[in-house]
């Protein structure tokens, strides 16, 4: 009686003629990435945020989420690509975006009007729901290299109400449109639908300037932790431990001194 190894060779040789890819290990191609403009962060996440997937950046307020997103959009728009920013709480500052290097003429900013904010001031879920619908329309329309959904001011109890099916739909739409979809949240909510997951934490504070008569706050240190990156290595490998890297953001007035 032939051995199991012999039978396997016979089966593989037969299928190789009829169905060539039946027993061929499919190698996942490395996705296209957009550099964030922060060498330390890019080195940790494999060159930048992946295109056609979901990247989730979570953390408390004032931990660098917005700065990271703006630096990334600056790199993307300077290459001539169009991007969009879906602003749940109307918190984006165009002046800060321009100072970060974002080409504003290539950025679509979606936010609530003054009248709508007044009506929905006590209904945060309504604002979040409108932002989700707007993001869905942008992904279905296509043409955007990156879309940022800023939910930084939305409470976790609200973002956790979003159905898991919404994230699956966004993931498929982003893949089809080849759009880098970035979520800014206080706590992770996209679950396994996020290909890249980053955690932001405050690091250390650079002392106030001692030059001149008026001391000015010059720089803030942040710390990024990579909690998940599905684009690395084989799915059969053990999960790598979280990596951390520190970076700093410079204030606008320290640049023009």
150, two tokens: 């800023």
DSSP letter at 169? H
Please report the pLDDT score of residue 3 as a whole number: 78
Please report the pLDDT score of residue 237 as a whole number: 37
Is 221 inside any structural domain? no
Is 232 inside any structural domain? yes
150 with 88: CB under 8 angstroms? yes
Structurally, the chain folds into a number of domains equal to 1
- Report d(CA 202, CA 222) in Å as an integer: 5
Extract the residue ranges of the chain whose pLDDT is less than 70.
Answer: 1, 12, 15-30, 112-125, 203-219, 231-243, 246-257
- Report d(CA 227, CA 57) in Å as an integer: 10
Please report the pLDDT score of residue 234 as a whole number: 39
Predicted confidence (pLDDT) per residue in 217-234, tens digit: 666 777 888 887 776 543
DSSP letter at 238? P
- Report d(CA 86, CA 131) in Å as an integer: 6
Sheet-wide strand order for 196-205? 107-110, 83-87, 146-150, 180-185, 54-58, 196-205, 219-229, 243-250
Q: Is the dihedral of CA 170, 172, 176, 181 positive or negative?
A: positive
Q: What is the CATH number of the domain that holds 96?
A: 3.40.50.300
- The model's pTM is 0.77
Is 205 inside any structural domain? no
121 burial type by CB count under 10 A (0-12 exposed, 13-18 middle, 19+ buried): exposed
- Report d(CA 226, CA 48) in Å as an integer: 12
Which domain covers residue 233, as residue numbers? 27-199+226-241
Please report the pLDDT score of residue 64 as a whole number: 86
Predicted confidence (pLDDT) per residue in 127-185, tens digit: 888 999 999 999 999 999 999 999 998 888 888 889 999 999 999 999 999 999 999 99
Is 37 inside any structural domain? yes
Please report the pLDDT score of residue 252 as a whole number: 54
Is 10 inside any structural domain? no
Please report the pLDDT score of residue 57 as a whole number: 95
Straight-line distance from the first to the last Cα atom of the chain, in angstroms, rounded to the nearest whole number: 85
Is 105 inside any structural domain? yes
Is 217 inside any structural domain? no
Is 252 inside any structural domain? no
Beta bridge partners of 37: none
């Amino acid at each position: 009686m032939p051995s199991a190894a012999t039978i396997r060779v016979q089966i593989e040789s037969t299928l190789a003629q009829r169905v060539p890819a039946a027993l061929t290990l499919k190698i996942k191609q490395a996705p296209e990435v957009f550099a964030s403009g922060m060498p330390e962060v890019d080195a940790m996440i494999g060159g930048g945020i992946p295109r056609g997937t979901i990247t989730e950046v979570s953390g408390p307020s004032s931990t660098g989420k917005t700065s990271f997103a703006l630096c990334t959009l600056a790199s993307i728009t300077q290459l001539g690509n169009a991007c969009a920013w879906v602003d749940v709480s109307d918190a984006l500052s165009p002046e800060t975006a321009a100072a970060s290097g974002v080409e504003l003429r290539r950025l679509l900013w979606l936010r609530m009007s003054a009248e709508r904010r007044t009506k929905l001031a006590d209904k945060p879920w309504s604002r979040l729901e409108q932002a989700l619908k707007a993001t869905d329309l942008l992904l279905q329309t296509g043409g955007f290299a990156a879309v940022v959904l800023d939910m930084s001011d939305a409470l976790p109890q609200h973002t956790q109400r979003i159905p898991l099916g919404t994230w699956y739909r966004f993931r498929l739409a982003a893949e089809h449109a080849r759009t880098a979809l970035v979520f800014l949240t206080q706590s992770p909510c996209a679950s396994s639908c996020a290909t890249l997951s980053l955690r932001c934490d405050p690091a250390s504070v650079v002392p106030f300037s001692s030059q001149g008569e008026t001391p000015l706050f010059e720089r803030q240190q942040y710390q990024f932790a990579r909690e998940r990156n599905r684009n690395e290595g084989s799915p059969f490998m053990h999960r790598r431990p979280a990596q951390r890297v520190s970076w700093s953001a410079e204030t606008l007035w320290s640049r023009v001194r």
